[in-house]
Amino acid sequence: MQAQLLVVGDDSLIELSRSTVTDKEGFTLLVARSQAEAREQLAQQHPAIILIAQMLPDGSGLALLRILQQERFPAVPILVLDAPEVEAFGLEALRTGAFACLSMPINADLLHLMLVRANDYACLLQAERERERLRLQQEAMRAAAHHISQHLTVIMGETQLLQEENLDLEVRASLDRILRATEYAAHELGTLRASQHRIRQTDPIPSTVHQQRKG
């Protein structure tokens, strides 16, 4: 599946991105020429990477970066173009949460390399989110299994007590069936727990991974 790259800037930045990045890496290119257009794109699409020019018709790239960081995009790698006329712009952009700050004029090879690395980072974040989702799912399953096990223990204990009473054959036969079904359920529950333990022991997603692809 191709990663989506949202480029927010003028035509020259869009064309540079199209020619030096999308053809090589197979990104799907999304374009916006203003903050407003970027917000419209982000309301409909979920890009893996965002590249923002500093000067936009309706505000600065740094202002857009702040907006995105405050909303729902702090996990998306965002690259911004430096503004030499703004003192300490690059440092402020990185403090705000930019993945990287690229100097003007843009070097196509460096842009390509940084976008590839940003995509690697986006993949890492996605893997970590999936890992966390699976962890929470496993915790919920373990909690449910614990409660089920407790109820099964009560059922088995009460059934065994009833079997000791002087009951007619039909009732005793029914209790036998309940006990066997409960024992079978307990066995299946134990199998499920063992399976979950094996999954945790063989988790293919490392907790800390630093991926880096050579450009």
Helix axes 169-201 and 108-163, enclosed angle (nearest 10): 160
Q: Give the global pTM.
A: 0.65
pLDDT tens, N- to C-terminus, the chain (215 residues): 678 889 998 888 888 887 776 555 667 889 999 999 999 999 999 898 999 988 889 888 889 999 888 876 667 899 998 766 666 777 888 888 899 988 877 778 888 888 889 888 888 888 888 888 888 887 877 787 777 777 778 777 777 777 777 677 777 788 788 888 888 877 777 777 777 666 665 555 444 333 334 44
Token pair recorded at residue 110: 């460096």
Predicted confidence at residue 90, as pLDDT, reads 79
Beta strands, E only, the chain = 4-8, 28-32, 49-52, 55-56, 59-60, 78-81, 100-102
Q: How far apart are CA 148 and CA 181, in angstroms?
A: 14
Predicted confidence at residue 210, as pLDDT, reads 39
* DSSP one-letter string for 93-106: HHHHT-SEEEPSSP
| 118 closest CA partner among 68, 52, 48 | 48
Side-chain half-sphere exposure of 22, counting CA atoms within 13 A: 17
- Report yes or no: 149 and 189 within 8 Å, Cβ to Cβ: yes
Predicted confidence at residue 93, as pLDDT, reads 86
Predicted confidence at residue 207, as pLDDT, reads 40
Predicted confidence at residue 86, as pLDDT, reads 64
Beta strands, E only, 33-191 = 49-52, 55-56, 59-60, 78-81, 100-102
